[in-house]
Structure 1
Amino acid sequence: MSVTLAIVIAVVVVALVFDYTNGFHDAANAIATSVSTRALTPKVALALAAIMNFVGAFLGQKVAHTVSDTISPPESNHGLIIVMAGLIGAIVWNLITWYFGLPSSSSHALIGGLVGAALAATVAVSWDTVLQKVVIPMFISPLVAFALGGSVMLAILWIFKGAGPHKANRGFRIMQTVSAAAMALGHGLQDAQKTMGVIFLALLTGGYVGADDDLPLWVIFAAAAAISLGTWAGGWRIMRTLGRRIIALDPPQGFAAESVAASVLYTTAFVYEAPISTTHTITSAVMGVGATKRLSAVRWGVARTILAAWVLTFPMAASVAALSYFILHGITRL
């Protein structure tokens, strides 16, 4: 086995580990609202999310190619070390925010890690791609989710104003099965593709695929399986934050938040090819829905803590990745 092939295999394994951590870190995105409103039991919700994550991974490749275009490492073992360091930065930040129960963005951790490793290695970063497909959507998608969440919730309140609370809650609990499935499908569509993009970047850097090639089927299957297994493992710490600590949700609110978040995920993936954060999207939708009740219903202190994690994600993942690059590069030169 050549050294290059060995490093490529190592990068693929680490990428799938990241995908797994993404699954258990972001499992709460799809199921927290359904579990907190008792529309679904935790085990049923996790199974549903895992299955829909797997299916969603097969629905497109545009986001994957956007991720692979973020940096341009040299086609060499050194380039593979850069990709490896970027993944390590993302994994470390995922684990830190999971431990503290903060729903931060795995997407921005990954992009931040790749950019940090590239800067440390003084290789090209596609700043146009980072700005247009990552930074701008990072700010716009939560604002859109917040506004749409509030608008959809107001529409639901107006349409069902004559319905009894018990009857309405029972109906929306049933509808939440559909909205939770749609949210999980969108999570698989978005987040599994990010890992596919990194694996494709590693294969490209190692010289095993061409820049214009489609993703190999085994890459899609492996990424889909890893994120589904991670989702099944669950993310209970973050689930509590999304489901209860921001606002105590009822079934209509849960349905509104999930439906809005899923719509934003599909639009950005298919239309704008942007790897947005499922975490930012659902959290913002939850806050937008909650604000229609009254502004004080949203626990803004918790929201500020989450916002701080959002702001820190990109630079912190980049910093860890840069440090990882220097360590790995030093080891390979021994």
Structure 2
Amino acid sequence: MHSDAVLIIVVATALAFDFTNGFHDTANAIATSVSTRAMSPRVAVAMSATLNFVGAFLSLEVAATIAKGIVQAGDVTPLVVFAGLIGAIAWNLATWWLGLPSSSSHALIGGVVGAMIAAAGPDAVIWSGLVQKVAIPGLVAPVLALVAAGLSILVAYRIVGRQSPGVVSRGFRLGQLASGALFSLSHGTNDAQKTMGIIFLALVANGNLASDAGVPAWVVVASASAIAAGTYAGGWRIIRTMGSRIIKMDPAQGFASQTVGAAVILSASHVGFPLSTTHVMSGAIMGAGAAKRISAVRWGVAGNIVVAWILTLPCSAAVGALTYGVVRIFGTGSAGPVVVIVVFAAGLVAFARRAAVAREAGEAT
């Protein structure tokens, strides 16, 4: 009874994380299209949500990496998964509030790794898998996207250099309908699978599935639906950062960055690398801006984003480890997770009220 209650809480928490992943990463898919006025915000969000849902069904390679390539599945318990998810959700909400595009993927992996170390020690983490499938791709992908987007925009400017600016802008805005759709599809293919992998871990830990089983269809549908709903909710704070605060973007730059980002993420999904779509898209945007003019990139904003990237894994790991320590005080049943959820929700409500009061005071002055 207790294990079933814990499993239900873990699955619900995983889908809540998936929702925050969706609204946190909405900016990756639509910020450039909205910034260049290729699409209206609501149309862009609806398109992205739909294709996030579709993309989740295209591959399960990333889900397999999360489920079997980062931690020892035999050492995982539902409480470890729950604690890791709380670490990831806390980091997602903190960076969303600050308007910083950070990695939901690395937050999830960091949270689970931190909780696993607290529960079973460092030997329960597959460090080689963490380095080869997370750390190295996480470093290479944004640099690759930056270089590729920079080269792409230089080629694009060379091709259309003698054309009327109005014609060029209209053409690239039309192109962004396709590039934005492709990026949204790639985002669903990579990011929704991370939640599938986490729920799979919980099901194995609870004895509902064998470790060599496939991901159940209901897990795929639920994960796809949650990330699509989160995407439709839209993380407007981060959209503003991605769309206009890194560079002042033109349609050609928007098209180049979206196309390059989609290509990098789809390639990674094919081989099972759980990339940060945020890292990839931020790198592509910086590359598209720097290729036009180095000073076009607001490097101070870019530096803040890089700092958030660096802090994501250790901070989410720390919260995951702390959460595991708290829930274990109450044993192995559902009491610990319930207490954490109540305290977490109360904290969010109190913070939201304080923020609302501060905003009203600011508007009054």
TM-score range, shorter chain: over 0.9
Evaluate the alpha carbon distance shift between residue 265 and residue 190 of structure 1 in structure 2; reply closer, same or farther with a 3 A threshold. Answer: same
Structure 2 Cα separation of the partners of residues 232 and 307 of structure 1: 26
Asked if 2 retains the 8 angstrom alpha-carbon contact of 1:68 and 1:198, the reply is: yes
Asked if 1 retains the 8 angstrom alpha-carbon contact of 2:67 and 2:73, the reply is: no
Query: Residue 121 in 1 paired to residue 119 in 2?
Result: yes
After the TM superposition, which residues 166-185 of structure 1 pair with which residues of structure 2 at under 5 Å, given as runs? 166-185=166-185
Residue identity matched to 2:262 = A
Structure 1 Cα separation of the partners of residues 288 and 302 of structure 2: 14
Identity %: 52
Query: Residue 109 in 1 paired to residue 100 in 2?
Result: no
Residue identity matched to 1:295 = I
SS in 2 for 1:143: helix
In structure 2, the residue matched to 1:37 is: 36
In structure 1, the residue matched to 2:287 is: 288
Give the superposition deviation at 1:103. Answer: 0.2
Give the superposition deviation at 1:330. Answer: 0.7
Asked if 1 retains the 8 angstrom alpha-carbon contact of 2:57 and 2:220, the reply is: yes
Residue identity matched to 1:107 = S
Structure 1 Cα separation of the partners of residues 268 and 312 of structure 2: 21
After superposition, give the CA deviation of every residue in 1:51-103 in whole Å (9 maximum; x if it has no partner).
0000000001010010012112547xx81111110000000000000000000
Structure 2 Cα separation of the partners of residues 19 and 129 of structure 1: 23
SS in 1 for 2:63: helix
SS in 2 for 1:212: coil
Query: Residue 220 in 1 paired to residue 223 in 2?
Result: no
Give the superposition deviation at 1:29. Answer: 0.5
Give the superposition deviation at 1:260. Answer: 0.2
In structure 2, the residue matched to 1:160 is: 160
SS in 1 for 2:249: coil
Residue identity matched to 1:56 = G
Query: Residue 20 in 1 paired to residue 36 in 2?
Result: no
In structure 1, the residue matched to 2:262 is: 262
SS in 2 for 1:131: helix
Give the superposition deviation at 1:210. Answer: 1.4
In structure 2, the residue matched to 1:306 is: 305
In structure 1, the residue matched to 2:250 is: 250
Query: Residue 63 in 1 paired to residue 62 in 2?
Result: yes
Structure 2 Cα separation of the partners of residues 148 and 159 of structure 1: 17
In structure 1, the residue matched to 2:5 is: 6
Asked if 2 retains the 8 angstrom alpha-carbon contact of 1:73 and 1:82, the reply is: no
* Unpaired stretches in structure 2, ≥5 consecutive residues: 336-365
CA RMSD of aligned residues (A): 1.1
Residue identity matched to 1:239 = I
In structure 2, the residue matched to 1:237 is: 237
Give the superposition deviation at 1:207. Answer: 1.1
Structure 2 Cα separation of the partners of residues 36 and 72 of structure 1: 43
Count of paired positions: 330
Match of 2:81 among 80, 83, 88: 83
Structure 2 Cα separation of the partners of residues 80 and 73 of structure 1: 11
Structure 2 Cα separation of the partners of residues 73 and 196 of structure 1: 14
Give the superposition deviation at 1:292. Answer: 1.1
Asked if 2 retains the 8 angstrom alpha-carbon contact of 1:291 and 1:297, the reply is: yes
SS in 1 for 2:210: coil
* Unpaired stretches in structure 1, ≥5 consecutive residues: none
In structure 1, the residue matched to 2:149 is: 149
Structure 2 Cα separation of the partners of residues 8 and 318 of structure 1: 21
SS in 2 for 1:247: coil
Structure 2 Cα separation of the partners of residues 230 and 240 of structure 1: 17
Segment drifting more, 324-333 vs 139-148: 324-333
SS in 1 for 2:99: coil
After TM superposition, which residue ranges in structure 1, 4 or more long, deviate above 3 angstroms?
Answer: none
Asked if 2 retains the 8 angstrom alpha-carbon contact of 1:73 and 1:80, the reply is: no
Structure 1 Cα separation of the partners of residues 318 and 299 of structure 2: 28
Structure 2 Cα separation of the partners of residues 305 and 177 of structure 1: 30
Structure 2 Cα separation of the partners of residues 79 and 232 of structure 1: 32
SS in 2 for 1:83: helix
